[in-house]
Structure 1
């Protein structure tokens, strides 16, 4: 038996010989694909122009009716909407206004104490923003991790925005740990693998994600994180204005100090990661003269490799070498930076001016070239050390009363000073994989001795506040460890450190007689506690539910106006009329004998008969036909009106979805029974709670989206 025509045709095409290479097989396949695609498109187009159009129109009509029902005055001014307005005000307070209020309470004028007419330089330290990424909470499910990223980013964005708008700082310094997993994202160049001796150091929780991180998160992902950091901090920096405060050179933002989450720590720092960081954020070891003070930033996470136990086993000079070379020349670098600043205020060129002359090379004198380094006798500004990792201190050294996580231990009766050691209140002197809570004693002493004239130090890393004065070995330097700006760093109340600098000098760079002995004042500015905000939302949510439940039972008990629409209150979704006049005409009549409505074309019940005065009241089989009497104006004739309405106001047919025909009683009856009080209250609870919930969540989503 021969195969069907189509199968034979395809068989011939597939087995045809094409001596000229015209590609008939390929052409036939393309024709089949084209025909099938055209058929599918035609079917879709037919559906869109037929049932699809009617379905869309029906949905649009229903949506319009729903909107019209909810735009009535009774619905708009209802009690659930009053609760929605209350929720909106509370969320505006928790997501916007409280940030502005907290930052305004830290305004410079509230705590600065300088002589009249002083023009201080106002600086802010931001520590450990540590933006959340896949390294932060590995294994978290998809909806929760992205939501955590959005919420924490919004918290820092709102805080930093108010910081710029309200405080207008002249300078903003970041103290490291800009990213959380910056050290984990593979670089485009260089060896990124962990050394063999360090592979067992990584925690087991991270080991199972290591291959995935190296496969999915590389240079491109790091650049996306860099843009995300810039969107939060760089873009909003301009909100502080472009005009500096009186007596200042200009506004600055410096974010080049790395943390252990940016590079790693000590012997396990990857040099390609540091090169990438420096390429985008700036030199990690630097000197800046700001407000007549010298700021020295040191990459201490790399410097710590020089005192690592692995130093004698492998060559770590590529890691710690640049930081050590910087410290060898840092005093001369400081003197040159101070001279540049002094020359600027004198109105001179900042760089060295060489004498222009022509002379024989053999007679040239190189013994005394001009330089900005005037030697040890040159004026020096008070020096401030910036390091991500705090300086060494003895275990149990207390951090003071402003440490939030563990307040100081209460001293015994009769003791006036703090309890020492106080391990609860102190920074733990310990370390682990890619971190060390404090620098080694050797590195700390070397830092202070190499830099010289260090009056103050600021650090990060710990996430909580810590203030202490170091021992004479570290030249009694006062150090403040700055709080983290992020709400996800284990400290309930984030914050930032405000610093006011005032050091008036003469034209040579020396302090003016009578100027304040203390040239630096600090203030800790605390931000909102996000947990308290969420607790406020939770309490308000519980109260809202209880209030709506109580209201629902009052509506049922006292027959008050309900918020939920009953079935009789709903608009029909039908486009055609839902009522038909019950009058004598050529189209139909009423069978008084059987008590059932019928028409000339149908001999079975088609609708329910109801009274015009009482909607939904059925007419029984004993209905007197005289109730169909015509209106006096029509003289016994039924006059059809618009949409099939008769002029008479007698019985009419109402097409209702909730009706059925009872064969036993030969009459139309409602399908639903009157609701009980419990049923009415339950329906009211569900309707009002759902209305408040979706409107509140929609407004919260809007605030979250806007940042």
Structure 2
């Protein structure tokens, strides 16, 4: 009978494939898209009804069986899982506990030496976080670039989080280079072209078109949010902790670096305007811990001493900093007076008197102003670019790159010059390692009363005392806090300030002790951490290889599970290991020599009925012609049809059969059989090694990925 598929059958199984357009009139792209979606939905529903449900149930059952097979005592407490436990401890140390331990060793009480009862103001100086971006490694492919950004961000996040949680500084100052490519990302307003005297180097020329097209204002804002997630959020969280409400906390990140703006004559004013819009003025005065902190935008200031200043108008670049320095002493007095008024409980800002006067009698010269005789507090100078020093000026023993040269016998002072231990006095595209000599002297003089200077840019620690022309100012160049800035052990600097004052601002320190103490806090070496991971990985492979080698030799319990047998046609999944054959089988007829059947995968079924595989029974079954000639030819048992020596069906592995074939009756078989067994040993070794390595690998990588995701 022919089957009809017409549309008039009325059957619920008939589908209208032109729905929702019965006539098939699909004209517009929207109609075509709706028709495509409807067909796709019907196909999915049909697949789910016909096969999808069964496949899902089968998958869930198979997964449940695998989980049950794995959740056994021997597998849970095995060498691969023991190695996973060791890896978890090592990863927790390298990614978490090492940061806690290193920062904990820098606790204030471990190095502060103030008189009893002192309540110092504690400051953390953070230099050159220099967030990795497409400018950092422009040639790296996407996966490696993204992984680099993730790892370096997590290093910064963990370090700074421990800084806030354990040390809880009152104030935090960043010393520039917040971003690596901040100067490269196009602004929304203003001219962004390179000046004719400062084009990009040839190594970056091929990336300019891509950078200008892909990375603009919106990308810079995302980088700003990224910086806030790493540094602002932990600071805000630490300030909201119980007991921190009474503290006067301050975080200042407005000091720009050459990677944020550029350097000197090559700075683009729109880039600086954007930076200052979101971070604040680069030139500023802050009174912190009864010390005056003066931050100076020295990357812009350096445009005045550039060789291009005589040929081009660079005043928009350097004039703001020049104007600030000319007013620096007055701005310092103003800031000190405001601070003292606050400490006395007065309104910090001066106010006009509230009175009514006749316009003809009003004195317009009588304006409220701060006192001109405000006390001078010790001044701390903050600059991204270090002050000038003669080439080869040693940086001291805390510099990581090269330790100081050992002085000759009889010399007590350091070797000068010591170029390996010094900051190189050099310049290049968008950078200069130190300020010009005259600019440094003018800077110290205009700021005035500088008791200490702190800088960044170099990425490594450097401690020097400058010449008399620069006020004999001691300066510390702070280490970079990032793991990607060329130093093995990043760090940050802790500064403790103690300068008690009376209500008028006079110092209450009769012994004239120094009011400032510093301590370099070293962070974990990420290179050492990765070397530790590599070493443990090699040891893990060796341990698993040794175990896999011993499994076939010592007949240890394998870690690799045997594949599940098909219960529909597999002896191995139905039959027990041993079972006595005691029943008669009239419907089967096998040769009198015995029964043997090989299993296709994991073993064999064999039966033996004596030494010669033939026995003569004491009786015969009905219809048989004698012992040994019946269907089974099994004899020796009482009664007809019953065998006294019942056969055994034995399920044995291929490995056991191979060993029996190789060694029988105390004699070893020829080399061909030995070769077969050796192949079995290699197979077991390979399977065990792969299974245990894979089990350890995915669990360790999964835990490491989780740690990175959590930050």
State if a TM-score over 0.5 links the two structures. yes
Structure 1 residue matching 2:324: 3-state secondary structure: helix
Residues 1:571 and 2:572 are matched in the alignment = no
Cα distance change, pair 187–573 in 1 and its aligned pair in 2 (3 A): farther
Match of 1:329 in 2: 327
Match of 1:68 in 2: 68
**Which of the numbers 369, 372, 386 marks the counterpart of 1:371?**
369
Offset at residue 241 of structure 1 (A):
3.4
* 1:391-430 → structure 2 map (5 Å cutoff): 391-430=387-426
Cα distance change, pair 312–40 in 1 and its aligned pair in 2 (3 A): same
Cα distance change, pair 686–32 in 1 and its aligned pair in 2 (3 A): closer
Match of 2:500 in 1: 504
* 1:266-665 → structure 2 map (5 Å cutoff): 266-372=264-370, 374-375=371-372, 377-514=373-510, 516-565=512-561, 567=562, 570-572=563-565, 579=574, 589-592=587-590, 616-618=604-606, 625=631
Residues 1:121 and 2:121 are matched in the alignment = yes
Offset at residue 350 of structure 1 (A):
1.0
Distance 1:627 1:80 in 2: 52
* 1:142-153 → structure 2 map (5 Å cutoff): 142-153=142-153
Cα distance change, pair 574–159 in 1 and its aligned pair in 2 (3 A): farther
**Which of the numbers 685, 688, 691 marks the counterpart of 2:692?**
688
Offset at residue 257 of structure 1 (A):
0.5
Distance 1:627 1:291 in 2: 107
Structure 2 residue matching 1:208: 3-state secondary structure: helix
Residues 96-124 of structure 1: CA distance to partner in whole angstroms, max 9, x if unpaired? 10100000111000000000000000000
Offset at residue 229 of structure 1 (A):
0.7
Match of 2:179 in 1: 179
* 1:101-250 → structure 2 map (5 Å cutoff): 101-199=101-199, 202-242=200-240, 250=248
Offset at residue 249 of structure 1 (A):
5.3
Distance 2:292 2:633 in 1: 104
The answer to whether the Cα contact below 8 Å between 1:182 and 1:263 also exists between their aligned partners in 2 is yes
Structure 2 residue matching 1:318: 3-state secondary structure: helix
Offset at residue 481 of structure 1 (A):
0.3
Offset at residue 39 of structure 1 (A):
3.9
Distance 1:555 1:584 in 2: 37
The answer to whether the Cα contact below 8 Å between 2:591 and 2:632 also exists between their aligned partners in 1 is no
Distance 1:188 1:574 in 2: 70
Cα distance change, pair 575–353 in 1 and its aligned pair in 2 (3 A): farther
Cα distance change, pair 399–34 in 1 and its aligned pair in 2 (3 A): closer
Structure 2 residue matching 1:541: 3-state secondary structure: helix
Distance 1:216 1:358 in 2: 61
The answer to whether the Cα contact below 8 Å between 1:402 and 1:465 also exists between their aligned partners in 2 is yes
Offset at residue 474 of structure 1 (A):
0.6
Residues 452-500 of structure 1: CA distance to partner in whole angstroms, max 9, x if unpaired? 1111100000000001111111111111000000000001110000000
Match of 1:13 in 2: none
The answer to whether the Cα contact below 8 Å between 1:294 and 1:334 also exists between their aligned partners in 2 is yes
Structure 2 residue matching 1:480: 3-state secondary structure: strand
Cα distance change, pair 232–650 in 1 and its aligned pair in 2 (3 A): farther
Distance 2:365 2:32 in 1: 90
The answer to whether the Cα contact below 8 Å between 1:484 and 1:494 also exists between their aligned partners in 2 is yes
Offset at residue 650 of structure 1 (A):
8.6
In the alignment, structure 1 segments of 5+ residues that lack a partner are: 1-23, 598-606, 637-648, 659-672
Offset at residue 330 of structure 1 (A):
1.3
Distance 1:628 1:47 in 2: 55
Residues 378-410 of structure 1: CA distance to partner in whole angstroms, max 9, x if unpaired? 311100010000011111111111111121111
Structure 2 residue matching 1:385: 3-state secondary structure: strand
Structure 1 residue matching 2:83: 3-state secondary structure: helix
Offset at residue 326 of structure 1 (A):
0.9
Distance 1:404 1:27 in 2: 73
Deviates more, 1:537-546 or 1:362-371: 362-371
Distance 1:575 1:476 in 2: 92
TM-score normalised to the size of structure 2?
0.83
The answer to whether the Cα contact below 8 Å between 1:183 and 1:263 also exists between their aligned partners in 2 is yes
The answer to whether the Cα contact below 8 Å between 2:567 and 2:574 also exists between their aligned partners in 1 is no
After superposition, the CA RMSD in angstroms is 3.5
Offset at residue 248 of structure 1 (A):
7.6
Residues 510-568 of structure 1: CA distance to partner in whole angstroms, max 9, x if unpaired? 10152542000000000001111111111111111112222222333222222223x3x
**Which of the numbers 242, 251, 254 marks the counterpart of 2:252?**
254
Offset at residue 572 of structure 1 (A):
3.1
Distance 1:270 1:229 in 2: 22
In the alignment, structure 2 segments of 5+ residues that lack a partner are: 1-23, 615-629, 656-675
Match of 1:661 in 2: none
Distance 2:568 2:348 in 1: 83
Cα distance change, pair 573–207 in 1 and its aligned pair in 2 (3 A): farther
Offset at residue 594 of structure 1 (A):
11
Cα distance change, pair 465–53 in 1 and its aligned pair in 2 (3 A): same
Distance 2:28 2:335 in 1: 79
The answer to whether the Cα contact below 8 Å between 2:441 and 2:469 also exists between their aligned partners in 1 is yes
Deviates more, 1:406-415 or 1:679-688: 679-688
* 1:13-24 → structure 2 map (5 Å cutoff): none
Structure 2 residue matching 1:295: 3-state secondary structure: strand
Cα distance change, pair 516–104 in 1 and its aligned pair in 2 (3 A): farther
The answer to whether the Cα contact below 8 Å between 2:607 and 2:650 also exists between their aligned partners in 1 is no
Structure 2 residue matching 1:188: 3-state secondary structure: coil
TM-score normalised to the size of structure 1?
0.83
Cα distance change, pair 248–119 in 1 and its aligned pair in 2 (3 A): farther
Distance 1:34 1:513 in 2: 83
